[in-house]
Structure 1
Amino acid sequence: MRLYENEFIKFDDNTDNQKNLSDEDINKKYLLGESRIVTEQGRYPLDTIPVMIDSGKYKLNPDFQRRHRWNNQKKSRLIESFIMNVPIPPIFLYEDDYSHYEVMDGLQRLTAIDQFYKNKFKLEGLEYWEELNGRTYEELPIKIKQGIDRRYISSLILLQETAKSKSEARRMKQIVFERINNGGVKLEGQETRNALYNGPMNELCLSLSDNRYLKILIGVPIEDSYQNHIDYENDLMENELYSKMKDVEYVLRFFAMRQIDGYQGRTLNEFFDYYMKKANLYNENLLNDLKAEFERIIEFAYDLLGENAFYLWRKRNGKWNWLNKATTTVFDAIMYVLSELFEHKEKLLLINASIQEDLIKFYEKNYGYFEGRNNNKSNIEQRRELYRDFFTSYLEE
């Protein structure tokens, strides 16, 4: 496959090695304040949170945030904790401009408090105050409301003085985000990349994850198939591919696998991490070319193979059937080969029914290359070769 101009990435085995410093150098680094964070603390009465959020001084969705959102029961449990005066962890803010802040950690807590005071959900699933289930803030007994109003949520603020440049600010924010999330819910691979390596390529992957054909082919809800936006939002957040940013990783895989030689000697996550860091340096023209490449190939896959383009015909308990979800095993190889064969798109589409029918026989014949966890570089290249032979056989007729 031919890469675009300036697309090639040199994968250096030694790039991430730490520089050896003497004790004297280390002491100088510390005294100069390198990699040191300047903070201050704050406390906010709960009933001031809606005013705070509506002020426009707080950015609630920085690029490095995850997609997880709380359901009403989890929001209600937070409110119950305030009623009981259970200690709540502080929120983390970054002062990106004087008196303007990004919410680094605590988005769900702030959103839950704001929505509660605006009567946007009813309490549900309370364990110790079951008698309050079904009530909004406005409907609570006066003493309960007064008790909640006198609670506080604390904050830790990273001041603007922490960083001397925008790039350093991004690095420091990402470090803090990684550390404060290290003890909570384990971050998935793409969630970590989104936090630590955000940049133009990551933003492109985020944007392309909303591609209609990709959503159909991997099983992420599409809004125009719903009559109610709330139902769509709920289903979207319950979708594991979306909530864990695996849809974004599908896009990244397409780009990274174009340079699979960089996978050698690394784990898959290390390969994707390295690629993302380097690809964030791509220029705008190259990113536009890659965007167009992904969009035409994902549409080609849909038109050629239908909604189960990335499904695997597999054998279980002596019976053959379609695995009812997309797999990266299929996605990686098919997308690569269709990109190679795009110039033959029209000829292949004329016989797509025959191709889809014969694909079942293809998997039965070659199933050994697809079963299990065969995902090293040579396995991926073998599957590419199999698909390449399969599709090109129709061009020889």
Structure 2
Amino acid sequence: MLLLKGEVLLFPADVPASIAKIPDDVINEKYVRGEIRIVTEQARYPLSTIASIVESPTYRLSPEYQRRHRWTRNQQSRLIESLIMNVPIPPIFLYEYDYSKYEVMDGLQRLTAIHAFYRDEFSLADLTQWPELNGRTYSALPEKVREGIDRRYLSSVILLKETARNEEDALRLKQMVFERINSGGARLTPQETRNAIYDGPLNRLCIRLSKSQPLCRLWGLPLPDAQELDGGSPPEERLENDDFRRMEDVELVLRFFAFRQKRTLHKSTVPLSAYLDSYLYHGNGFDQDTLQGLECIFIDTIQLVEDVFGERSFWLYRQRRGNWSWLERPTTTIYDSLMAVASQHLDKAQLIRNKAQILRDRIESFYRENYDTFEGRNVNPSALIARESALEKFLIDTIKTA
């Protein structure tokens, strides 16, 4: 695999710690030293101040920080109805990444819902206990109801900066806490957790490239609108798409970058998800030139693949009950291998495009002959090498002989 200058990463495989029995006196000493002890404080925010907090540069409240917005207007309305009735609301969790500067670890949906309501950005809907308030914005509420809401508070638990001794320790502790406070609700996907914990230049590049039209088309995702491309909220049809909500599109971009060094960095004993974690963490240190180079490679590769293979680019031609047909949805098995091979032949892009129809005509026969290689989801290095080698030979033989 030809890599960019500055792209090469070196990091050790993640090896599980020994679980050998440790004497009680050693455990007690570790506890006294406070090696793994969270330093917190609590705070209460009047609801009337939440809007200014959300808009403050002191708080990191990017919609990309945790999950893509999932709450509907009805869900936001039910939160406001609970506040009207003074139903206890779980606290939000903040992480002090610098002195008096905070990231939201849990509670983004609650904060943004309250902010939107106080800014009259939506009207209440589907209320069950206060249906007479349906259709009302904050400003249009009866005076006493509005004053009652203003008296409510939102509690918070703040993980203080002194919890961690250094940046690496902070990252580890933040990941542990984030996963535990989110374990009781809707289960986070690996990419959602990755996005929250390993935010940085490479992560933001993956998010931006996930909006590329060829990727969206080939993965069956609704296209972003102008507002989203300009940094605004995604359109409703994207929010309703399961792959988009789970950030699988962002993981696809990360996989493309990480698989460029998978053969040298990913050990077969390490789960793929852990490898992607490590790659993103270390890749966030790429310099700007390397990031720009990776961006160009991804854009050129995904466009080349779409131009040549069309909507079936990442489909598998498979056998079921003796019959051959296309699996009419994209698979990572094909995506990972085809993107890796295509990225290595961008210098022949025009020649490959000229042979597009011949490549399409022959691809069914190729999958028939190599079905054992592509069937299943094996991501071990040996399986990856076999798939890439087969596709490489198919591509080179076709453009040379056709």
Do residues 2 (structure 1) and 2 (structure 2) align?
yes
Do residues 134 (structure 1) and 135 (structure 2) align?
yes
TM-aligned CA distance change 1:260 to 1:195, over 3 Å: same
Length-normalised TM-score, structure 2:
0.84
SS in 2 for 1:61: coil
2:51 aligned residue? 50
Aligned pair count reads 397
1:332 aligned residue? 336
* Contact kept in structure 1, 2:211 and 2:224, CA below 8 Å: no
Do residues 341 (structure 1) and 342 (structure 2) align?
no
Partner Cα separation in structure 1 for residue 228 and residue 133 of structure 2:
32
Partner Cα separation in structure 2 for residue 129 and residue 92 of structure 1:
29
2:241 aligned residue? 239
TM-aligned CA distance change 1:55 to 1:206, over 3 Å: closer
Alpha-carbon offset, residue 297 of structure 1: 1.7
Partner Cα separation in structure 1 for residue 214 and residue 393 of structure 2:
25
Residue by residue over 1:56-78, the C-alpha shift from the partner in whole angstroms, topping out at 9 and shown as x without a partner, is 43321287422233110111111
Length-normalised TM-score, structure 1:
0.85
Structure 2: unaligned runs, 5 residues or longer: none
Q: Which residue type is aligned with residue 295 of structure 1?
A: I
Partner Cα separation in structure 2 for residue 333 and residue 302 of structure 1:
14
1:181 aligned residue? 182
1:258 aligned residue? 260
Residue by residue over 1:259-302, the C-alpha shift from the partner in whole angstroms, topping out at 9 and shown as x without a partner, is 33324223322332333344445455444443333232222212
Q: Which residue type is aligned with residue 125 of structure 1?
A: D
Structure 1 stretch displaced more, 16-25 or 334-343: 16-25
Q: Which residue type is aligned with residue 179 of structure 2?
A: E
Residue by residue over 1:98-152, the C-alpha shift from the partner in whole angstroms, topping out at 9 and shown as x without a partner, is 4443222111101111111222112223333334333323333444334333322
Structure 1 stretch displaced more, 335-344 or 362-371: 362-371
SS in 1 for 2:312: coil
* Contact kept in structure 2, 1:45 and 1:151, CA below 8 Å: yes
Partner Cα separation in structure 1 for residue 277 and residue 57 of structure 2:
34
Alpha-carbon offset, residue 336 of structure 1: 1.4
Alpha-carbon offset, residue 246 of structure 1: 0.9
Partner Cα separation in structure 2 for residue 310 and residue 143 of structure 1:
58
Alpha-carbon offset, residue 90 of structure 1: 0.2
Do residues 39 (structure 1) and 43 (structure 2) align?
no
Q: Root-mean-square deviation (CA), in Å?
A: 3.4
Alpha-carbon offset, residue 212 of structure 1: 3.3
* Contact kept in structure 2, 1:348 and 1:394, CA below 8 Å: no
1:291 aligned residue? 295
Q: Which residue type is aligned with residue 390 of structure 2?
A: L
TM-aligned CA distance change 1:18 to 1:197, over 3 Å: farther
TM-aligned CA distance change 1:23 to 1:3, over 3 Å: farther
Structure 1: unaligned runs, 5 residues or longer: none
Aligned-pair identity (%): 46
Partner Cα separation in structure 2 for residue 128 and residue 34 of structure 1:
48
SS in 2 for 1:207: helix
TM-aligned CA distance change 1:14 to 1:228, over 3 Å: closer
